[in-house]
Amino acid sequence: MRKFALLLLLCISSFAVAGSAPPIYNYKLKTIDGDPTSLAPYKGKVLLLVNVASACGFTPQYTALESLYEKYKDRGLVVIGIPANNFANQESGTDAEIKTFCNRKYHVTFPIMSKVSVLGPDKIPLYQYLTDKSTHPAIGGDIKWNFTKFLVARNGTPVARFEPAITPDSPQVITAVESALHMP
C-alpha cells in the first residue's frame, strides 16, 4: 500500500516538473442536460473520471462513487460520470433517462456528462487522450468495460487507472485519491 502511494506521488511529482500543461482541461463535453462544458471548471481539483452504464453488473458502484465524492469533495475531489454505450448495449437510454436513473436509484450528486463513446473510431478526444499509450504508458490502452476509472491530479495529469472490478471504496482507490489530494 505504501509502495503504491509513493509510486503515485513520484508520478505526480515528475509530471509537475515536466512543465508542460496537460491538455485535459481543454476537452469539450456536454453535461447530462446537454449544456456545453469542458473540464476547465475543475482545474486545481482531483478528478475521478468514470465511464458509467445503467445496466451493467458494475452499476452498483454508483453507491461507492457517491460515497467517495461526498467524503472527499470538500478537499477537492470531483467524481465525473461519463455514460457510454460501448459495452453490450448497457447504456442504451437517453440522457434524460440516465439522469433520472442516477438521481432516483443512486441519489447521485456528482457531475454526470452526456452519453459519449469511449472506444472505437468514434471515441471522444478526452478518451483518446486518456487511453493513448504513447502519452500515458502506465495507464493507457483501450477501455475494456464500463466503470473504468481514471484519476487525474490537481495539475491535470492522469496518474492512475483502475479497472472495473476495482471498486471506488477499495484500498487502492482510497490510497490513490488521498495521495493525489495531498499534492499541490
Catalytically active residues, by annotation: 56
Q: How far is CA 46 from CA 16, 60, 136, 150, in A?
A: 14, 23, 17, 10
Q: Radius of gyration (Cα) for the chain, nearest Å? A: 15
| Among 112, 82, 86, 87, CA closest to 99 | 112
- C-alpha dihedral (43, 30, 126, 46), degrees to nearest 10: 30
Distance between CA atoms of residues 176 and 1, nearest Å: 10
